[in-house]
Amino acid sequence: MTDEAPYTRAMHTNDIAPSEWPTFFNSFSRQHEGWLVTIEELPGGEGSPCIEAHDLPLEGISFDRLDGSISIALGADADGRLTHTVHHASRVIVERTDAGADCGLRINRDHDEATRIRFRSAVHPEQVDGLVGPPS
């Protein structure tokens, strides 16, 4: 499977209401912790996407109620840790395959700009539970 496969299979989307962001990100993070993700910045207009991180394990996604930012924590250890912060989020969209498996998130901002989080593999969380042991 290529890195592009999860996104190209996204056939269904689900908007998450802003009032649900804290609860959603908490649950989503628990379900997908350790999954390999790629983060892309999508400029408004006709610019090309820019990859900010590639195939790093997801530690979690959180919403800061004070400043309205969304933080995406990646990395397996302190040396490889990266936190990508999205300011001025206006919309959170879950991207799913035809089978209903999450394949990523899109966080829209002002001026049609967005941050996309793509999973390397799109599967249902219950299909991978217990297959990977805890980090050593």
Is the pLDDT assigned to residue 4 strictly greater than 90? no
Query: May I ask the CATH class of domain 5-122?
Result: mainly beta
Q: Over the stretch 29-87, which tens digit does the pLDDT of each residue have?
A: 999 999 999 999 999 877 899 999 999 999 999 999 999 999 999 986 667 789 999 99
DSSP string for the chain: --TTHHHHT--EEEEE-GGGHHHHHHHHHHHHTT-EEEEEEE-STTPPPEEEEEEEEEEEEEE-TTT--EEEEE-SSGGG-EEEEE-S--EEEEEE-TTS-EEEEEEE-GGG-EEEEEESS---GGGTTTTSPPP-
Domain range annotation of the chain: 5-122
Q: What is the pLDDT of residues 42-52, one digit of tens each?
A: 998 778 999 99
Specify the pLDDT at position 121. Answer: 65
**This prediction's pTM:** 0.79
